Structure 1
Amino acid sequence: MIQKKAETGVIASSSEKKLFELLKSSVQGLAEAEAKQRLNEFGANDIQQAKKQSQLQAFMKNFVSLMALLLWISGAIALFAGMPELGVAIWLVNIINGVFSFWQEYAAQKATSSLKKMLPTYTIVIRNGNNKQIDAKNLVPGDVFLIQAGNSIPADARILTAEALEIDESALTGESETVNKDEKYLKTEGKFGQNNIIYAGTTVARGTAKVIAFHTGMDTEFGKITNLTQKQRKSKSPLQLELNRLTKQISVIAIVIGVIFFFAAVFFVHYPWSKSFIFALGMIVAFIPEGLLPTVTLSLAQGVQRMSKKHALVKELSSVETLGETSVIASDKTGTLTQNQMTINHIWLLDDKFEVTGEGYSNNGQIQKNQQRIDIEKYPDLKQLLVIAALNNDSKIEETADKKAKVIGTPTEAAHTIVAEKAGIEIEQLAQEQPRLKEFPFDSNRKLMTTIHTVNGRKVAYVKGALSSVIKCSSQIMVKGKVRPLTAEDRQKIEAANKHYATMGLRSLALAFHELEEPSNILDKQETIEDDLVFVGLTVMADPPRPEIYAAIKECHDAQIRVIMVTGDSALTAKSVALKIGMVGNNVQVITGAELEKMNDKELCTAVKQEVIFARVAPEHKYRIVKACQANGEIVASTGDGVNDAPALKQADIGIAMGVTGTDVAKDAADMILTDDNFASIVAAVEEGRTVYSNIQKFLLYILNSNVPEAIPSVLFLFSRGLIPLPLTVMQILTVDLGTDMLPALGLGAEKSEPGVMKQPPRSQESHLLERSLLWKAFAWYGAGAALISTFAYLFVNYVHGYSFMNLAEDGNVYVQATTMTLAAIVFCQIAAAINCRTKETSVLTIGLLSNRHVIRGIVVEIILLILLMYVPILQGLFNTTAIGPLEWLFLVIIPVPLVLIEELRKYFVRSKSLESQVYKK
C-alpha cells in the first residue's frame, strides 16, 4: 500500500515512472476494487469540520457572564431583603439583555458549511483506463483525474500532462496573479512554488490537464490549514475581560459598602441584627448598576450598526471594542492595500518613454509624454506595441450589474486590453482587420505567448513574454518606425531599463513581432516563428494602491498603530508598495518566508517590534507573525481573504476577512468582514471601536454617579437614627436605575467620536474601564453634587410646608411630595450629567448642545416618565409619588443650568492645562 503522507517535494521531483511506483498507480488509473480499498483506508476526500457550539449553548452563554451572574444574585438579594418588585425587575432586565445579545450575534453569523462548499461536487477520474464521473468525496490518492478551465481542484495532485494550464492559487497564496503549470518539475520561490503540483481548493483559470492525486481530505494543504484553524480556541476579547474585571470591582465596592452599613446599623444605630442585615442588603443592591449590562450591549449593537454603514460587518458584539485597542494591523497587500487590478503605468521604447494615466480596469485614462497627451499615429513604435498588446490577448473586460469591472482572462492580459483602449484602439475592429490564424499558448518553459495574424495579406507573429525569453529570441529592434539589427548596446539599455523598473517593484513584459515567410507549413514551426524576432518595447505594470490608502496609513501612524505588510508577493514588490503608500521608511527590514523559517520565536518577537515587511509567506508564517506580536503585548488585527489566512484570522484578537474576494473559510474564521475589501474601512472601524469604548466609559460615569444620591438618603436615615425619614423609597431607586437613567445612557452610547480620538495612542492594556479618575468624578464630583441638590430638594419641600430640619414630615401628603421631589431632583441632576458626560475634555458647546438627538430624546422621555409617575394615579400608588407645585417645578428646571456651567468651567481648565503641558514639552 502507498504511503499515507508522501512528501510533496518527493512527488514533485520524481520521474513519472517513480511517481507511479510511489502511488501504486498507472496512467490507466486505479482499478475499482483498489479505489474502494483506499477509500476505506484514507477516508473520504472531505474537510472534517470541528464540532460547532449548539444554538442552546450560544443562547445560554449570555446568561452566565460575571455581570449576568451578579444581576441574578442581586435579584435574589432583593427578594430576600423584602423587595420583590426590585428583584423581579432585575431578573427581567437580565433575561431581556441575554435574548437581545443572542439575537444580535445570531443574525450576524452564517450557519452554512462553507468549508465543504469550496470543494467541487464531481470530478472525472480514470478507472481501469476509462473516464468516469464520481463524487469528489470518493477521490483517493493514486487516482488519475482530468481538469479544465472553471474546475475547482479536489485534491493535491501532480500534473501528468497539461495544455496551456493556468491555476488561480489566490485562495492559498493570497496573490491574484494566475500561475502557469505544466508537467515539468521546476521549483520556484515560495511554499507552493512547485511548477507541476496543483492544490485542493484552487481553481483552473485556463487550459486542461491530466493529473494524479497524492493527498486527499485533511492531508491536503487545504486540510492542514483548516485543521490548524479548528484547533485554535478564541480567547476572550479585551472588553469581555474588562467587563469581568468591572463586575468584580463593583461587587467588591457594593459588598464593602454593605458591610460598613451593616456594622454601622448594629453598633451605631443599635438596630437588631436581622434588620441591619436586610438594610445592608438593600444598600448592596442600590450600589449595583442594574442598567449597565443592557446599556453596554445596546451600545455595542449601535456600534455594529454604524460600522455596517462604513462597510464593516461585525459578527460578535464584543469585537467592536477590540478594534479600538488595536495596536498592530497585519495586512495583506493585494486587494486590501492595492486595488487588485493590474495596471500598465509605463511604456518603454528604446528612444522613448511614455506614462499611462488612469488606474484599474477602466479605460478612463490616456498615454502621455512629458505630461501631454500624445497621438499614437505620430509614434509608429508605440502603435505597433499597442497592436501587439491588443491582439496577443485573450482577455475581456465586462461591466457587472453594480457598474464594476469584471475580468475574463488573466489580470496581465486585462491590463494590456485596457492600455490599448486608452490609446483609442478599437480592439474588435482591429481583430477583424488582423484575424488570428493560430496561437501558441504561454508555458513556463518558453515564457512566451505567440499569436499569428493576417496583416495586409501577410502572416505576422505577435509575441509577448518575459524579457529574458523575448530578448534571447530577438535579432532586430524597431526604432522610430524602422527595423534595424539589435546591438549589444541596445541589449544593455533594455536590460538596464528592466532592472530599473524591477527595483521600483514594477513588473515588465516584453513585446515583439516577426513577419513570417510564406511556406505552407510555416504555422506549424513554432521554433521558427518565435525566432529572429523584432523587439519593440516593454510594458510596465503594477497593482496600484487604493487612492484612499495614503490617508488611511497616515491616520494609523497618527493613532500610533503599526501596520505590518504580510504578503505572498515578492520582497521587492512588497517593499515598493509599502514605501509608495508611506507605510514604512527606506530602512525597513524585509523578511521572506524562507528567512522566517530559520528564526526562532524569540527572534521573531524581536523582529516584529521593528519596522518590518514579510514577503513570500506561507499560512503558518502569518499565524506565527500574529502570535509573535501578541507575545509582545500587542492587540493584533489581521486581514485576509484566502484559506491560507484562516489560522491567522482565528488567532488574531480581531480577524478581518475580505467580503468581496474572501473565501468562505476566511469569513468563517474572522470576527469582522469588510464589504468593500478596503483597508480604509479598517481604520474607520478602529475609530468606531475607540469611540465605543469611550462611550462605555461615559455612560458608566453617568450610571454610577446616580448611586450616590440614591445611597445618601439611606445614610441620612441611618445616621440620624430615624429622625430623618427615608427621602427615597426602594421603588423610586428602581425608577432611577431601570427607568429614567436608561434612555439617556443609551444616547451616550451613540455619541460620535470626539475630536482627536485618532490622534491618541491605543488604549494601554494596563488601563481599565473603572479608572480612579472615573470613580472620583462619578462619586465625589457628579454624585456628591447630585446628592446635595436632591437632599436640599427634600428639605426644601418640608420647609415650604412649614416643617423644620429637626421636625420633618414622616408620613402623609407632605412626606410623599418630599420623596417625589427627591426623585425629581435626582432625575434633573441626571439631565445635567447626560449633557456633561457627552465629552471628556471638549466643550459640549463645541460639538453642539443638541447634536446628539438620542440624548435629547432620552432626556425628553425621562421627563415625560417623571410626569407620568407624578400625575397618573396607578403609578402614584405603585411608586409612592404625587403631584408637585409650580415653585417646586421652577426649582427643578433651574438645577441643570449651574451643573452644566460648572462642568464646562472644569473642562476649560483641563484643556488649558493640557495645552500648557504640550507647549512646555515643545
Structure 2
Amino acid sequence: MIEENKTNDQFAQLPLDEFYQAVDSSPTGLNANQVQQQRSKYGPNVITATKTGNRLWKFFKNFTSLMAGLLWVSGFIAIFAKMPELGIAIWTVNIINGLFSYWQEDQAQKASDALKKMLPTQATVIRDGKSVQIDTADIVPGDLIVIAAGNSISADARIISSDSFQVDESALTGESDLRDKKATYHRGSGRFDEDNIIFAGTVASSGNAQAVALKTGMNTEFGKIARLTQSQTSKPSPLEIELNRLTRQLSMIAILIGISFFLTAVFIVHYPVVQSFIFALGMVVAFIPEGLLPTVTLSLAQGVQRMAKKHALVKNLNSVETLGETTVIASDKTGTLTQNQMTINHIWLPDQVYAVSGEGYVDNGQVLDQGQVVKPGQNPDLDLLMQAIALNNDTTVKPISQPGGQAQIVGTPTEAGLVILTEKYQLASATLKDANPRLKTLVFDSDRKRMSTINQASNGKLTLYTKGALDGILAISQSILVDGQVRAITTNDIQKIQAANELYAAQGLRALAIAVRDLPAETSQNLADCTIANTEKDLTFVGLTIMADPPRPEIYEAVKKAHQAQIRIIMVTGDGPITAKSIAVKIGLVSDQARVITGDELTAMSDENLRQAVKGEVIFARVAPEQKYRIVKANQANGEIVASTGDGVNDAPALKQADIGIAMGATGTDVAKDAADMILTDDNFASIIAAIEEGRTVYSNIQKFLLYILNSNVPEAFPSVLFLFSGGFIPLPLTVMQILTIDLGTDMLPALGLGSEKSEPGVMQQPPRSRSAHLLNKSIIWKAFGLYGLIASLISTAAYFFVNYAYGWPKHALASSGAIYAEATTITLAAIVFCQVAAAINARTKYTSVFKIGIFSNRHIITGLVFEIALISLIIYLPFLQSVFNTHALGLQEWLFLLAIPIPLILLEELRKWIVRKYYLKLNQN
C-alpha cells in the first residue's frame, strides 16, 4: 500500500527504486490484484460533488414563486369566505404545478448525470506491462499513466519519463504560463512547483509523459479545493430571463384585471364585497398561466433527448434554446465537414508519380496522374519515403474484427492513412521499428506543423525523419533526393514541388511532405540537447504523400439547409488555402469568389479589419486553433450569435467565448469537451444543423403553448365582462370554479403535448430569431386575444343564451340559479373546452397545414384532447362533481352543437394559414 504519510514533495525526491516501493508499483504498472486492493481502499477517482442547498428547500422553492404566492393567498381568502371548494381548487393548482416543476427539475438532474456517464473521460494506463484504456474514474494510486498533449490529468502523479512535456496548471495556480515538466526533481518557490509532479485538474499542453499516480479523487490537491467552487451558481440564460419577465408581466396583468373587476363589481354593480372578491379572484386565476414553467422545462428536456438521438449531447437545458438564435457557425474542416478518413492516393517524388490504387484519383470523372505502382526494392527513393513514414508514426490500425465493421484507429487519421500505405507497400513496419528504435521525438505542434523522430539503425547510423506541411518542410530543406542522389535544392526544384502541390490542392487533396537528415553518431550521447531549433534544419526533401479526406455524404444537404436558414458558415482550418477553398466550394459552403485569409494574414489584421472581413464570404486557412478565438470575437462584435466547433486544447478559448461551444466527442480532447456547451458524438457537421433545428423548434413550441393557454383567457373573462357591463342584469355565464376547471384540468395535458411537437416544415427556411424578440409577441397577442379568443367568446356566450332561449328567454328573465342556470353555465364551459380542442390542433403549426403534418401525428396532443373531453364529461354527469362545479347534464342536441364547434375553427385557421403561405410565396418570388 502507498505510504500515505508522505507528501507529494517527499515522493518527488525519492530515488526511483525507492519510489516504486513506496507507492507499491513497478515500471510495468500494477497487476490485477494490486488494482483491486487499491480500488477497495481509495474508491473511484472522482471529485465528489458537495450538495448545494437543502433538498427540502429545493422541494419547497417550487411553491414560492410570484404566481404561487398569489394563489396561496387567494385560496386562503376563499376558504375564509366560506368557499372551501374554491380554496382547495386554487391550492390544488399550486400543488400540482409545484410537484410537476420539482419532478422536472429532478429529471433534468438525472438526465445530466446520465449524460456524464454517456461520456466517460478516458485514460491510458500500463497494467501488467500492457497498455490499456480505462475510465479516469478507474485510476488508482500506483497506476502508471500514459499522458499525451490535450489530455486532462486526472490524478496527482510523479513523472517517470517525459518528452517536451508542458502542463497548463492555471486551474490550480491562476497563472496562465505553461510549466515545463520532466522526470528529474527540482523544487521551486511556489506550492505546486515540483518539476516532476503533475496535478489532477491540470492539462497536458504539449509533449508526452508517463507518470505514477500518487493521489486520486478527493485526496488530490484539486479535490481539496473543489469544495470551494462547487457552490457557485450559474448565470441565468436569456431564456430564463425572458421567462421571468413574462411571468411578472402576466402576473401583474392578472392582478390589475382582478383589482379592476373587484372595484367595478363593488362600486358599479353593487355586488356584495365577498362575492365581488371571489369574482375578481376568478379573473386573476384565469389570466395566470400555471403550466408555463413546467411546459418550458418539458420542452427543453424533450429537445435534449431528441438531440441526443441525433448525436448532439447538450450539457445545459437552456443551451437548447440558444441554438435557435445561431447566425454564424465557425467550423473546422477535417472530421467535421469531411470524413476524417485519410486515404493516400498518390506518392509524388521529384522524378516519378505513383498512384497507390493503380487507378489514380478520380474527381468529377477526371483521372489525375494515374502513375504506376511498384513493389519494394525497385526504387530506393520510394523505399526511403516509406521507411520515413513508418518510423515517424505513433498510430496503430487494428484490423476489422467482423464483417461490415470498421478498422479501429488508435491515433490520428493522417498517420492511419500512412500506416495503411506501408501495408499496401508490403512493408513490415513492426520489424522496421525494432531494427531502427526511436531515441527521441520532436512532437507535432500547431505552430511549426511538423513532427520529427530520431531513430538509430542497427549499424549505429542516426537519422532524423520529418513529416509535415509542405511550406514548413521546404523552409528548412537545403537538399533534395532525386533518383537516388542527394543534391542542393534549387529554385526550380521548389517551384516544381509547389506546382505539384497546387495541382492536387486544387482538387481538394492534401499534401504531406517527407524529409530526412543524417545526424552525427555522437548525437545519441546528447539527446537532451537535441531541440527543435538545432535539429530540424538542413533537411533533405524526399517527396509528398497525396491524400484525400472526402466530404461527408450528408454535408451537402446540411450546408444547403444552413444557407436556407440564413446561417453563415465560416471554415476555419489548418489546411492550405487552395485545398480549403476547393473543399469549401465543392460542398457549397462558399462561392468561387470567396476570400481566403491565412493565419499569417490574420495575425497582421486589425480587429476592425477582421470585423469587416467576416461579414462577407470568407475562409480561414493555415490558422492555428487559438486564432479561432479572434474569429469568434469578431463575429460577436458584429452582433452575430456564434457557434464554434473544436477538438483540441487550443480550441478551448474559442469554445468558451462562443455563444455555443461545440466539441468533438469522438476525437476531441477532455479540455475541449469541458469548455463546450454541446458535444457531437459523431463529430458530424450535419448534427450541428439538426441541433439548431431542434433549438428553433423548442422556442417555437413554447410560443405555441403560450398561444394555446392565452387563447382561453378571453372566453373565460368575457362572461364576467357581460355581467359587469349589464350591471348584473346578465348573471355570470361562467363560475369561478368552472374557470378553474379549464386552467387546472382540461387545458393542461394538451398544452404539455404542444411542448413535444416536432419541427414544423419550413422552420429552417426562416432567418434566425433576434435576441430582442420576446416570447409574447404581437402575433400571439393578436391571435390569442383579438382573433380566436374573441371567436371562442362569441361561441360560448351564444351557447349560454341558446340554453336560456330554449327555456323561454327573452319572455322570461335570464336564469340566475337552479337547473336552467346550471345547464347554461355548463354549456358555456363545454363550448370553451371544445374551442380549446380546435385551438390545440391549430396551434401545432404557424404556417403549415395540420393536415400536411398529420392531424393525429402528435400522440401527446391526441391523448390530451381525449383526456380533456373525458374530464369535462365526468364534470357534467357525475353527481358529486356537478355539485362542486355547478354543472348540469346536457342532452344530445347540445352535444351535437359542441362536437361541431372545432370543425369551422380548424377550417378557418387553415384558410388563414393558406393566405399567409400564398402571401409569403409571392413576396419571395418578388
TM-score range, shorter chain: 0.7 to 0.9
Give the residue type in structure 1 aligned to 2:746: T
Q: Which amino acid aligns with 1:438?
A: N
Query: What is the aligned partner in structure 1 of residue 597 from structure 2?
Result: 590
Q: Deviations over 1:535-562 (max 9, x none)?
A: 8642124665544334323322221223
Change (3 A) 1:313 1:436: closer
From 884, 888, 895, give the equivalent of 2:890.
884
Residue 321 of structure 1 deviates from its aligned partner by 1.5
C-alpha change, 1:118 and 1:256, in structure 2 (3 Å) is same
Alpha-carbon distance in 2 for matches of 1:794, 1:231? 57
| Residue equivalent to 2:818 | 812
State whether structure 2 residue 646 is matched by structure 1 residue 637. Answer: no
Deviation at 1:685, TM superposition (A): 0.8
Residue in 1 that maps onto 2:6: none
Q: Structure 1, residues 698-740: CA drift from partner, whole Å, max 9, x if none? A: 1211111111111122222233333333222222212211211
Match of 1:775 in 2: 781
Q: Confirm or deny that 1:438 pairs with 2:432.
A: no
Letter in structure 2 aligned against 1:71: A
CA distance in 1, matches of 2:920, 2:730: 45
Query: Residue 324 of structure 1 contacts residue 686 of structure 1 at CA under 8 Å; is this kept in 2?
Result: yes
Q: How many angstroms does 1:819 deviate by?
A: 2.1
Match in the other structure for 1:89: 92
Contact 2:331/2:572, CA 8 A, preserved across alignment: yes
Separation in 1 of the partners of 2:148 and 2:489? 44
* Structure 1 residue 98 corresponds to structure 2 residue 105: no
1:796 and 2:793 aligned: no
Distance 1:490 1:614 in 2: 28
Specify the alignment match of 2:261 in structure 1: 261
Report the counterpart of residue 682 of structure 1 in structure 2.
Answer: 688
Shift of 1:835: 1.6
Distance 1:63 1:625, change over 3 A: farther
Task: Supply the AA of the counterpart residue of 2:70.
Answer: I
1:673 aligns to what SS in structure 2?
A: strand
SS of 1:539's equivalent in the other structure is strand
Q: Which of 835, 851, 873 is equivalent to 2:879?
A: 873
**How big is each residue's C-alpha offset from its partner over 1:618-675, in whole Å with a ceiling of 9 and x where there is no partner?**
8886556555544543333333444544555445433333333344554444433322
What is the CA-CA distance between 1:785 and the residue it aligns to?
1.2
The answer for the alignment partner of 1:509 in structure 2 is 513
CA distance in 1, matches of 2:120, 2:220: 12
Q: Once the 2 structures are TM-superposed, how far is the Cα of residue 779 of structure 1 from its aligned partner?
A: 1.4
Please name the residue that 1:413 is paired with.
415
Residue 451 and residue 342 in structure 1: after superposition, are their counterparts in 2 closer, same or farther (change >3 A)? farther
| 1:399-548 → structure 2 map (5 Å cutoff) | 403-408=405-410, 411-421=413-423, 424-427=424-427, 437-439=435-437, 443-444=441-442, 465=467, 468=474, 472=478, 474=480, 476-477=482-483, 492-494=495-497, 496-498=499-501, 506-510=510-514, 537-541=543-547, 545-548=551-554
1:396 has 2:396 as partner: yes
Structure 2 SS opposite 1:767? coil
Q: Over residues 577-601 of structure 1, what are the superposed CA-to-partner deviations in whole Å (9 max), with x where a residue is unaligned?
A: 655654445543637499569856x
Partner of 1:130: none
- In the alignment, structure 1 residue 249 sits paired with structure 2 residue 256: no
Distance 2:651 2:386 in 1: 40
| Separation in 2, partners of 1:439, 1:768 | 66
Number of the residue aligned with 1:732: 738
Counterpart in the other structure of 1:70: 67
Name the counterpart of 2:702.
Answer: 696
* Native 8 Å contact 1:62 1:101 kept in 2: no
How far, CA to CA, are the matches of 1:92 and 1:219 in structure 2?
Answer: 45
Structure 2 unaligned regions, length at least 5:
1-11, 20-44, 127-138, 172-179, 184-197, 213-218, 444-449, 531-535
2:327 corresponds in structure 1 to 327
Structure 2 letter corresponding to 1:831: V
Q: 1:388 touches 1:462 (CA, 8 Å); kept in 2?
A: no
Superposition map of 1:347-426 within 5 A:
347-350=347-350, 353=353, 370=367, 376-377=373-374, 384=383, 388=387, 391-392=390-391, 395-398=395-398, 403-408=405-410, 411-421=413-423, 424-426=424-426
Residue 690 of structure 1 and its aligned partner are, at CA, apart by 0.7
TM-fit CA distance, 1:816: 2.3
- Give the letter for the 2:101 counterpart: G
- Structure 1 pair 336–593 and aligned structure 2 pair: CA distance change class (3 A): farther
Q: Report the alpha carbon displacement of residue 688 of structure 1 after superposing the two structures with TM.
A: 0.8
Q: Is the deviation greater in 92-101 or in 649-658?
A: 649-658
* Alignment counterpart, residue 857 of structure 2, candidates 842, 851, 857: 851
Deviations 1:365-417 (A, max 9, x none): 99x99279887359955975785477545642026989454334565432212
- Aligned-partner Cα distance in 1 for 2:820–2:307: 52
Deviation of the 1:99 alpha carbon: 0.7
Cα-to-partner distance string for 1:280-325 (whole Å, 9 max, x where unaligned): 2331221112222222222222222211211122333322221111
CA spacing shift, 1:560–1:204, aligned 2, 3 Å: closer
Corresponding residue of 1:832 = 838
2-structure distance, mates of 1:534, 1:679: 39
Contact 2:834 2:901 in 1 (8 A): yes
| Paired residues of 1:571 and 1:592 also in contact (CA < 8 A) | no
Against the structure 1 CA distance between its residues 715 and 332, is the aligned structure 2 distance closer, same or farther, given a 3 Å change threshold? same
Aligned pair count reads 810
What is the deviation of 1:575?
6.3
- 2: CA distance between counterparts of 1:702 and 1:114? 36
Shift of 1:106: 0.9
Tell me whether 85-94 or 402-411 shows the greater mean CA deviation.
Answer: 402-411
Q: Aligned residue for 1:712?
A: 718
Query: Counterpart of 2:916 in structure 1: which amino acid?
Result: V
Aligned amino acid, residue 590 of structure 1: I
Distance 1:50 1:636 in 2: 34
Q: Match for residue 315 of structure 2?
A: 315
Deviations 1:876-907 (A, max 9, x none): 33333333211111111111111111221222
Choose from 677, 683, 687 the match for 1:671: 677
Structure 2 match to 1:202: 204
Give unpaired runs (5+ residues) of structure 1.
1-24, 33-46, 123-135, 139-145, 173-179, 184-197, 211-216, 359-363, 515-519
Q: In the alignment, which residue of structure 2 is the partner of 1:755?
A: 761
Hey, what does 2:174 align to over in structure 1? none
Percent identity for Structure 1 against Structure 2: 52
Paired position in structure 2 for 1:554: 560
CA distance in 2, matches of 1:342, 1:894: 64
Residue 896 of structure 1 corresponds to 902
Letter in 2 for 1:418: I
Matches within 5 A, 1:138-149: none
Change (3 A) 1:894 1:234: same
TM-score after normalising by structure 1: 0.72
Deviations 1:729-771 (A, max 9, x none): 2222122112111222222222222222112111122321111
2:77 to 75, 80, 83: 80
More moved, 438-447 vs 796-805: 438-447
Aligned partner letter, 2:870: I
Helix, strand or coil for the counterpart of 1:397? strand
Give the distance between the partners of 1:65 and 1:639, measured in 2 at CA: 40
Contact residue 477 and residue 486 of structure 1 kept, 8 A: no
Q: Deviations over 1:305-351 (max 9, x none)?
A: 21121112233332222111122334445543444554434422446
Q: Does the 8 Å CA contact 1:168/1:205 hold for their aligned counterparts?
A: no
In the TM superposition, what is the alpha-carbon distance from 1:269 to its structure 2 partner? 1.3
Amino acid at match of 1:477: D
Note closer, same or farther for the CA distance 1:272–1:412 as it changes in structure 2 (3 Å cut).
closer
Quick one: structure 1 residues 265 and 789, their matched pair in 2 at CA, closer, same or farther if it must change by over 3 Å? same
CA shift, 1:109, in A, is 2.8
- In 2, the alpha carbon distance for the partners of 1:603 and 1:57 equals 53
More displaced stretch, 669-678 vs 461-470: 461-470
Letter in 2 for 1:414: A
